[in-house]
Amino acid sequence: MTHHIDQLHPGMTASIAKTVTEADIILFAGISTDVNPAHLDEEYCKDTVFGGRIAHGMLSASFISAVLANHLPGPGTIYLSQTLKFKAPVRPGDTVRATVTVKEVNVARNRVALDTVCTVAGKVVIEGDCVMMPPARGQAVAGTA
């Protein structure tokens, strides 16, 4: 469902959960070309501060994008800005819950500001905020009727 600017209000929230798999990490490394051994080499990681492999921070952050694009505001939404603070690592097998919450709506500018957070087992791993431009009324949005 697409939410237009006049349908949004502070406090609205949406989330998704995704378990980070080995395949996700390998595919993300290939797509992003980020082949840091912290993500790919268990032997290397044994002696790091994390004591084992961690998922790419931007892989986990991308789940925020999925909530925004698919749920709130929804299909046709355009990202304008995003801040991120990485608070804790995500490991292969962790389930990341990405949640967005509307904090401000500017109808005149067609902008919405949202708080963004990712958690693993209730612990915050990423926090930030973003500004989005929801689709205008009458704008064609693929996959909607």
| Structural domain total, the chain | 1
Strands (E), 2-66: 13-19
Q: What is the CA radius of gyration of the chain?
A: 17
Distance (Å, whole) CA 77 – CA 122: 28
Residue 139 has a pLDDT of: 60
| Cα–Cα distances in angstroms (integers) from residue 132 to residues 15, 36, 62, 84, in the given order | 16, 31, 15, 15
pTM of the complete model beyond 0.85: yes
Distance (Å, whole) CA 59 – CA 20: 9
21-44 confidence digits (pLDDT tens): 999 999 999 999 999 999 999 999
Residue 140 is assigned to a structural domain of this protein: no
Residue 113 is assigned to a structural domain of this protein: yes
pLDDT band at 135 (very low <50, low <70, confident <90, very high): confident
We report the CATH number of the domain holding residue 88 as: 3.10.129.10
